[in-house]
Amino acid sequence: MQILCQTNLDALEKARMLGSNGVLSLLEKKGLEGRGGAAFSTAKKWQTCRDTPADERFVVCNADEGEPGSFKDKFIIRCNAETLIEGILIAAYTIGAKRCFIYLRGEYDYLRPRLQEQIEDVISRAKMKGVTIEIVRGAGAYICGESTALVQSIMGFRGAAMYKPPNPTRQGLWGKPTLINNVETLTCAAQAVLFDDWDANLRLFSLSGNIKNPGVYEFPLGVKMSTVLDVARPEKKLKAMSFGCFGGIMPVDKSMSITPEAICKGDCQQGNYSIIFIDETHNIVDIVYSIAKFYTYESCGKCTPCREGTVRMLNLLKKIRSGEGEKKDLQLLRELAMHIQETSLCGLGESCGNHILTSLEHFSKDYETYLAKK
């Protein structure tokens, strides 16, 4: 696996040789995009952070990994933390930061002692004077992975999303430019700097659900679904795949090539390539109900559409599942989901209707099964 290649501080040495501008042009040329979900150009983000006037800047590694079905960042921290730490140091060198943080999901606290040792070891070997990397325990909420809420949480406040702009890249921790990147992005950054044959097309997939071989796999974008299923080994005939909670639900098509465009055609979003497979024994409305419960629980409550809307969508789903639903409830559900998406403050509210809209589009028969019970 490319993601397991170790850079052994050679990437940092090369970065120092290239200088800040050289690193930025190399990352731009290699085509590294963020692996936290939004696929934003890493070089552009680093440059914006570096070029925003300030007396201090920060680097944050987002290891909150709150997306249901995602466990690729944990895999990297367990199997190649040294390269991740080197990626953080390269980012700090490139943007001119001294203080760095790893915001580590609370449930991954058991990884902390070893990670701490590895940080101390890499920093002492890297001879980067005055640079520190501090591990901050995640506060246990999905929203804390969102960049503005994460900034609040590190500063000791309640994790709640803030209005953007300003983006943390320009105004983050203590009002200073703050570079926030995902674990996989920073690991790839070190590898992209060092290896001439580093391949931007390779992606980590977290596969789970009704399959015999759940786990983290590396595939190129464009891989055929049939190839993925050959390794994942579904137990029964598959009906659907859910892209975490964030990205929506669509039917499994063995002939499909997995690309963001193909996923988009199903009105879904690939997010960070966490795919939960669902077999034909499930009614999709039950899955959608679980996801709606998740969103209701995780809504931070700051804005009305998401705080109120998630509860109302959940109540409508409850009504449908109890056999009391009517055809008009489906239209209400659709309108509610669209309205919340359009009017919410942050990515959580913007995504909380995806599973509802995509399931209504692709699995209307499952809703009708429940409606027919009335």
Span interacting with ligand SF4, options 7-15, 174-182, 297-305, 327-335, rule CB under 6 A: 297-305
**Per-residue DSSP letter, 167:** P
d(CA 70, CA 66): 7
Quote the CA–CA distance of 59 and 273 in Å, as a whole number.
Answer: 24
**Cβ neighbours for 218, distance < 8 A, ≥ 6 positions apart:** 1, 2, 3, 202, 203, 204, 205
Q: Which residue is nearest to ligand SF4 (CB)?
A: 349
Find out whether 107 and 73 touch, Cβ atoms under 8 Å: no
Q: Tell the residue number behind the tokens 């890249």, with chain if given.
A: 169
Q: Is 24 in the site for ligand FMN (CB under 6 A)?
A: no
Closest residue by beta carbon to ligand FMN: 145
345 binds, among ligand FMN, ligand SF4, none (CB under 5 to 8 A by kind): ligand SF4
**Least Å from the CB of residue 306 to ligand SF4:** 3
DSSP states along 60-92: EEEE---STT--HHHHHHHHHHHHHHHHHHHHH
Using CB under 6 A, which of the segments 179-187, 316-324, 339-347, 362-370 binds ligand SF4?
339-347
What is the DSSP pairing of strand 274-279 with strand 238-243?
A: antiparallel
Q: How far are the Cα atoms of 58, 79, 90, 125, 358 from residue 9, in angstroms, in the given order?
A: 21, 16, 10, 8, 45
The one among 9, 15, 26, 37 contacting ligand FMN by CB under 6 A: 37
Residues 48-107 binding ligand SF4 (CB under 6 A) are none
User: How far is it, in rounded angstroms, from Cα 68 to Cα 206?
Assistant: 10
- For residue 287, the SS3 value is helix
Nearer to ligand SF4, 77 or 340 (CB): 340
Binding mask 107-146 for ligand FMN (x = CB under 6 A): -----------------------------------xx-xx
Q: Which is nearer to ligand SF4, 122 or 150 (CB)?
A: 150
- The CB-of-290 to ligand SF4 minimum distance in angstroms stands at 18
- Say how far apart CA 154 and CA 156 lie, in whole Å: 5
For β-strands 238-243 and 249-251, DSSP reports them as: antiparallel
**Of 220 and 301, which has the nearer Cβ to ligand SF4?**
301
Contact between 302 and ligand SF4 by CB under 6 A: the answer reads yes
Q: Which is nearer to ligand FMN, 35 or 362 (CB)?
A: 35
Interface mask toward ligand SF4 for 118-157; x: CB under 6 A: -------------------------x--------------
Binding site for ligand FMN (CB under 6 A): 34-38, 40, 45, 62, 64-67, 142-143, 145-147, 180-182, 185, 346-348
